[in-house]
Every structure is written in C-alpha cells, then in structure tokens.
Amino acid sequence: MSTPSSRLRRWRVAAALAATATVLAACGGGSSDVVGGDGQSEADTTLILVAYAVPEPGWSTIIPAFAATPEGKGVAVTTSYGASGDQSRAVADGKPADIVNFSVEPDVSRLVKANKVAAEWNKDVTKGIPFGSVVTLVVRKGNPKNIKDWDDLLQPGVEVVTPSPLSSGSAKWNLLAPYAAKSNGGQDQQAGLDFVTKLVNEHIKTRPGSGREATDVFLQGSGDVLISYENEAINIERQGKPVEHINPPQTFKIENPVAVVTTTAHLDKVTALKNFLYTPEGQKIWAQAGFRPVDPAVAAEFTADFPAPHKLWTIADLGGWSAVDPALFDKENGAITKIYKKATG
C-alpha cells in the first residue's frame, strides 16, 4: 500500500505558507500567478502555459517559485488546464501558448508537425521530460473490493473509472499499463488486447474526457476503482478524501513532456521557466507535489515516497510512441480506439 511520507505531510504546511505570497487573478482560461503582486498588474511579461489537467498542483507551486528567482522576476503565467489531446489540438489550431505540458509525447509531436514546437525539443538528456509518475489503482478507503492487481479489475461487479483515450492522454497511459502487463511488454499483443477488451466492455461504464474529470466522477461516488496517475492519487489523499491507492506489481512509467512553443514572443523568459523545472529546487517541488523527479539526486531523497514496482514497463519497451500511437490509438484504426468505439456504439 502506498502512502505519502511524513516529508510530504510537512510540505503541506510549507505549501500553505507559500500560498499566502501568491495572488491568483482570473485571466483567460486559467490564472495568473505573480509573487508579491496583484497578478498581471505588476508583471513585465506574461507567459501562457497550456497543460493537461493533473499537474496543476505542481505548477501552482512552480510558478511562484520561479517568479521569486532573478530569471523569473516580473514574470506572470496564465494557465489553461484540460484534456491533453484537446489542449494539443487547440494549440495546433491557434490557441495562444508560450509553453506546453502534455500527458503524452504524440501531443507534442502534433505541434512539431504544425511548426509550433522545434523538432529537437526532446533531444536533451531527459528527452523533454521534467517529471513523471506511474499508473496506480485508486480504491475506496479500506479497499472493500480487495483490489491488488490488474486481474482484480475483472472480478464480477467491479466497476472501473478511467478517462477516454479518444480525448485524454492519461487514458493512454492507464490502458498501456494492463496491456503491457498482460502482453509481457508487447510480446503477446493479443493477450494484452483481450484484457483491455474485457475491461472496457464489461467494467468501464463511464468515460470522462480527462484524468481530472475521471477523478471528480470517482470522488462523486461512481465506480469501485479509478485507474490514475500516482501523483493524482497522492493529491486527493492529501485533500482528505476517503480513498487509498495501490501500485500494482507490474505497472507503467508515465513521462509527461514540456516544450517551448516557437511562436512565443518571450523566448528567453519561457526558456528560463522550462529550465527551472530541471533545477534541484524545481525537481524538489515536483517531488513534493507527488510527481517522480527525473534528477537522480533528488529522486534519491524521495525513495520512501515513491516505491519501486516489481516491474515498471516503459513506452520504450513497447517500441516507443512512434510505434504505439498508430498501432493502438490511431483515431480510426488503432486497436484500442476500435475497442472503445465498438463499446460506445
């Protein structure tokens, strides 16, 4: 059973104190964060972050921390959160953005094709990934259905909540976890698809549009199990919700990319913001927010908070997104897309 450590509990106090120095001003599709000021009125530069839904707890601390640095002085950040695929398509179609944080690499690749993100965006050491997570199972307090592993989701009467992969990047990760476990990392693809088919047809009754919407549906009482990100589970546990989470023995590594939009008018500032994510301070903020850091030194400080699964599959194990996305999630011919479309009629 995974539970946040005392270090994470202590961080809540620090976060609450930090929040008193942060002013949130309604703006556009999100909020503008400037330390020690009243939103955009004291900002010299305003950046627009377009992101998927669940990293909001991390960004809400990252943004004022960056603004408190010499590089971030006078920088406001307007935020827009939503389903990863929908956000990516919106930016490709002209939605303003200076920096993007999506759930999956293909949502950034779409912007590369649209000439809005540089082709070399992921050529650094971490391949454009400043933080990540693992797929986890969120259950009601006390685990009344005794959920421990993927096979338990197929028990008669167990209802599972996970977002739709037709709109949500988190849904792709959520379904890749059991697919990888049951296919032995893609070696037996049919076994993986058979499991996903049974899961979707017999146990998934609601299909929210994003990971955050799926969480809301689950907290409102729908379902017995929520397939989610570990960081999302930690976030709702901190809120005192009557839930707990289990990392299955075999699960999947989630890698959430961040990229600078080439059409930005503030390249120096937005690059500084992106670079801040990789600093020891930035990495610790992500870890304290429940995300797994990519800096090995910071990760070593949080080993008690992020237990290693028996087997952690990766997208590389399945051939990378260039192979996985068209094979499983192509909007017309992807194998999992077809399963969902058939189930929904």
Output the DSSP codes for 237-248: HHTT-SEEEE--
Rounded-to-10 torsion of CA 8, 14, 15, 19: 170
Q: What is the pLDDT of residue 211?
A: 87
| Angle, vertex CA 133, rays to CA 132 and CA 137, nearest 5 | 160
Q: What is the pLDDT of residue 40?
A: 52
22 shares a domain with 160 = no
Torsion over CA: 185, 190, 196, 198 (sign) = negative
Q: What is the pLDDT of residue 259?
A: 99
DSSP annotation of 309 reads P
Tokens standing for residue 263? 């059409």
Of 210, 207, 240, 201, which Cα lies nearest the Cα of 222? 207
96 shares a domain with 151 = no
How far from 129 is each of 19, 237, 337, CA to CA, in Å? Answer: 26, 25, 26
177 shares a domain with 266 = no
Report the distance separating Cα 135 and Cα 228, nearest Å.
Answer: 6
Q: What is the pLDDT of residues 112-143, one digit of tens each?
A: 999 999 999 999 999 999 999 999 999 999 99
172 shares a domain with 104 = no
119 shares a domain with 47 = yes
50 shares a domain with 88 = yes
Q: Can you give the CATH number for the domain in which 224 is found?
A: 3.40.190.10
- Per the structure, the complete domain to which residue 126 belongs is given by 6-131+255-301
Q: Which residue has the tokens 């037709």?
A: 166
Supply φ then ψ for residue 320, to 5 degrees: 85, 165
Report the distance separating Cα 302 and Cα 11, nearest Å.
Answer: 13
Total domains present in the chain = 2
How far from 214 is each of 13, 180, 194, 283, CA to CA, in Å? Answer: 28, 22, 23, 27
- 216 neighbors 161 (Cβ within 8 angstroms): no
pLDDT in tens, the chain (345 residues): 444 444 433 333 333 333 323 333 223 334 433 333 334 557 899 999 999 988 999 999 999 999 999 999 999 999 999 989 999 999 999 999 999 999 999 999 999 999 999 999 999 999 999 999 999 999 999 999 999 999 999 999 999 999 999 888 889 999 999 999 999 999 999 999 999 999 999 999 998 988 889 999 999 999 999 999 999 999 999 999 999 999 999 999 999 999 999 999 999 999 999 999 999 999 999 999 999 999 999 999 999 999 999 999 999 999 999 999 999 999 999 999 999 999 876
Tokens standing for residue 74? 């006078």
- 159 neighbors 317 (Cβ within 8 angstroms): no
DSSP annotation of 301 reads H
Domain boundary among 283, 301, 319: 301
Q: Which residues touch 221 (CB under 8 Å, ≥6 apart)?
A: none
DSSP annotation of 334 reads -
193 shares a domain with 148 = yes
Of 68, 123, 102, 65, which Cα lies nearest the Cα of 286? 65
334 shares a domain with 270 = no
Q: What is the pLDDT of residue 78?
A: 98
Concatenated DSSP letters of 70-131: TTTTTEEEEEEEE-HHHHHHHHHTT---SEEE-SSHHHHHHHHHTTSB-TTTT-STTTT-SE
Q: What is the pLDDT of residues 95-114, one digit of tens each?
A: 999 999 999 999 999 999 99
273 shares a domain with 259 = yes
246 shares a domain with 260 = no
227 shares a domain with 244 = yes
Supply φ then ψ for residue 317, to 5 degrees: -60, -30
269 shares a domain with 195 = no
Look up the pTM and report it. Answer: 0.85
